Amino acid sequence: MAKFIFIFIVVISFSFVKTVNSIDCTVTSVGFTPLNDLGPGYFRGFQGGLYPGGSNTRPALHNKDGVIIAHNIVPLDTAGNYDPVNGKIVLLSVGMSNTSLEFTKFMSYVSASPIINPKLVVVNGAQGGKDINLIVNPLDSFWTIIKQKLAFKGVTVKQVQAVWFKETDKGPTDTAFLSYTNDIKDKFKTVMNIMKSNYVNLKLCYNNSRIYAGYATSLTNPEPYAYYNGWTVKWMIEEQINGDSGLVYKGAFANSPWLSWGAYVWADGVIPRIDGLNWVCSDFNPDGTHPDTSGIIKVASRLFTFFSTDETTKPWFLKNMTVNIYTGLEGFMVQATSGLRMRDSMFVYLRQSAAPFSLIDSSSAIVDSVTLKGIYKFYNTAQGSYYFQLKHRNSIETWSRAGGENLIQGNIYNYDFTGGIKSLWK
């Protein structure tokens, strides 16, 4: 009799789950065009593309700022001070359950990869059930739990320098495209301010929107809201690019990290995007909202590719050798200030110190007009002896001192060309 009762309970419980969290695999498309495929086209009077002007590429000036910021991310100790030996660079995820699932898989790629910066620590701060309407409150337990998760990894809030952000609301009621999207966007902006306040050294935030939700039958965040979520992210980033005072990312009054898309992953169900991404029913759990194993991999793999290749992430995400080179660019020096009249870019080539001086790697950076420092990252360098070859559009090609310099991948070096060639120092 006891055995019969146990089986009866299990069957009833299973039936209840299937009823509440059922998935509708017939909704294979909702008829919307992904933002990146929409490009310069329009949706309800608004131009597509991930960035302004229907483009999927970051505007040049915004991208340039992001690259400069990325090159200046360095390992920090628990108090937030530069520490090239024991310091860490923390990449934190912020968001809800989908974010947590996808970031967990992303973390497995990071831990298994030999190319990742050993100073990098990834922390999954995303939490199930914590939608935007909760975390927009700076006193919500969400933020306290993140602090605890950081401590568990042996790091602090002052070591957080980059965030992957993906959020939504779990019970949307406003069916109007524009008012709904703008309401969520304002809440996203508030969270950017909260994060900058909580993590004083936070510099970069990479944003994702929801995956396809046409198979969902619950009211958690179905279509069209998942699609609208992409417009929310797009317009928030665009407002920062256009100089929104609520999203200032540089200067003494910065109240937000620099914003960019991460890896945009919405596609219209089974219809492939131009790059081939689509979402089939088997990519989801029985609720149609949370990704299953294959869906998680679709997001996490694209995210890992993004962080491994984007020019604003490579300088701190990947294992590299960093060389801070100080140069007085010819024709740019101002004698009265011992600085430059403007910032400018310079290329540095790394060559083997023995003939025929083979080219091993190259890097470009902006030379600061005050400090005369450019920060150069090299990713393809084995331990050995090398020359620095400097090339600038208005200067004579210059090489480092005879004999070359002994360099080790993973280290940070300084080299001064401004007062006669000096020894390399760490």
pTM of the full predicted structure? 0.85
**Are 190 and 132 contacting, i.e. CB atoms less than 8 angstroms apart?**
no
Report the pLDDT value the prediction gives residue 174, as an integer from 0 to 100: 86
pLDDT of residue 21: 57
321-416 CATH, one of 2.40.30, 2.40.128, 1.10.3470, 2.60.40: 2.60.40
**Which amino acid makes up residue 322?**
T
Asked if 210 and 98 touch (Cβ cutoff 8 Å), the reply is yes
Say how far apart CA 206 and CA 310 lie, in whole Å.
11
Tokens of 258: 């620099």
Contact present, 388 and 323 (Cβ < 8 Å): yes
Domain 18-317 = CATH 3.40.50.1110: yes
Return d(Cα 409, Cα 358) in angstroms, integer: 18
Rama region for 390: left / alpha / beta (φ>0; ψ in -120 to 50; rest): beta
Could you write out the DSSP letters of every residue in 248-293?
--SSTT--S-EEEE-------TTS--TTS----GGGB-TTSSSB-H
CA 250 to CA 237: how far, in whole Å?
A: 15
The residues facing 388 across adjacent strands are 350
Output the furthest CA–CA distance in the chain (Å, rounded): 96
The confidence score (pLDDT) of residue 3 equals: 39
Q: How does pLDDT run along the chain (426 residues), one tens digit per residue?
A: 343 333 333 332 323 233 345 899 999 999 999 999 999 999 999 999 999 999 999 999 999 999 999 999 999 999 999 998 899 999 999 999 999 999 999 999 999 999 999 999 999 999 999 999 999 999 999 999 999 999 999 999 999 999 999 999 988 888 899 999 999 999 999 999 999 999 999 999 999 999 999 999 888 889 999 999 999 999 999 999 999 999 999 999 999 999 999 999 999 999 999 999 999 999 999 999 999 999 999 999 999 999 999 999 999 999 988 899 998 887 788 878 888 888 888 899 999 988 899 899 898 888 988 889 998 989 888 888 999 999 988 888 889 888 889 988 888 889 988 874 444 544
- Mapped onto helix, strand or coil, the DSSP state of residue 177 is helix
Alpha-carbon distance 125 to 406, whole Å? 40
> Domain map of the chain by residue range?
18-317, 321-416
- Contact in structure between 388 and 348 (CB atoms under 8 Å): yes
| Fold agreement (18-317, 321-416) | no
Distances in whole angstroms, Cα of residue 1 to Cα of each of 6, 7, 11, 174, 323: 9, 10, 16, 51, 75
Taking phi first (over 0 means left), then psi (-120 to 50 degrees means alpha), and beta for anything else, what does residue 403 get?
left
What pLDDT score does 338 carry? 82
